[in-house]
Amino acid sequence: MILAVDIGNTNIVVGLLEGTTILNSVRIATDRKKTETDFIIQLKLTLSTIFKVSEDKIEGSILSSVVPELTNQLVIALKLLLNKKPFVVGAGIKTGLNIKIDNPQTLGADRVCDAVCVIEEYKVPAIIIDMGTATTISVVDKNKNHIGGMIIPGIKTSLDSLSLSASQLPYISLDEPKTLIGKNTIDCMQSGIIYGNASLIDGLIDKIKEELNEGFVVIATGGYSKLIIKHTKHKIIYDPDLLLKGLYYIYKKNSSN
């Protein structure tokens, strides 16, 4: 078993994996003020009370992060907890992914993990949509190269920004709209954010296919994707575990040497 840890802008996901099978996982709110001691205590509690597994049963760990100020704290915490330094997705680690963008080191570790999992488990070329704090779209070509993509304001980020900027628009929960054409402010906001993002995703898929002149498998992951893709016209595969499984594949590529 291994521990796979993903540090995101909103949540830190800790997964216990046996191969690509996710035995258990938890989400911890991302708190940039936490120290390595705080994380050691939290990880210990997670292992003992939620995962119900002792530390000596963990073979090793791997970490991805898009929050640089917390990366070192988690590296130290995992090393002290497991007596073995974790692999960190970034420069110098083997991924098997050829990144063909202007500066490969700027590609987020989460997008690297998503792409690695897609190459291992799905057909290419592929379009990968990850809907979290930001919505990212990654394109992997038929030669398994990551050739670029898009970054879009995330669904909840956009909704909160709308409420913050417009005095008469309330903060609302992201629920399924009753109808496409809203009859009140809340329904209008929910319809706009959900159907608007579904249309945005459909439009970008069309644009990518048009530009590259080929068909793609489309895979979606991330907290809000399940809510959105049910309203898209394109067939989109939903895989909530893309990132954690990608971490496992990267771990294996590096632990076998």
Query: Based on the domain organization, do 152 and 221 belong to the same domain?
Result: yes
Q: Give the residue numbers spanning the domain of 26.
A: 2-88
In this prediction, residue 231 carries a pLDDT of: 95
Query: Based on the domain organization, do 81 and 191 belong to the same domain?
Result: no
Number of domains in the chain: 2
Query: Based on the domain organization, do 112 and 81 belong to the same domain?
Result: no
Task: Kindly list the catalytic residues.
Answer: 110
Query: Based on the domain organization, do 66 and 161 belong to the same domain?
Result: no
Query: Based on the domain organization, do 65 and 116 belong to the same domain?
Result: no
Task: Using DSSP, state whether 41 is helix, strand or coil.
Answer: helix
Neighbours of 222 (CB within 10 A): 26
In this prediction, residue 165 carries a pLDDT of: 82
In this prediction, residue 163 carries a pLDDT of: 84
Q: Is residue 22 part of a domain?
A: yes
Please tell me the distance from the alpha carbon of residue 242 to that of residue 119, in angstroms, as a whole number.
11
Query: Based on the domain organization, do 68 and 173 belong to the same domain?
Result: no
- Which of 68, 88, 108 terminates a domain? The answer is 88
Strand ranges of the sheet holding 134-140, from the earlier edge strand across to the other edge = 98-99, 145-153, 134-140, 126-131, 217-221, 237-238
Mean pLDDT, 10 residues at a time, the chain of 257 residues: 94 95 94 93 94 94 96 96 94 92 93 97 96 94 96 90 82 84 90 94 97 94 92 96 96 86
The CATH number of residue 17's host domain is: 3.30.420.40
Q: Is residue 253 part of a domain?
A: no
In this prediction, residue 257 carries a pLDDT of: 58
Query: Based on the domain organization, do 55 and 174 belong to the same domain?
Result: no
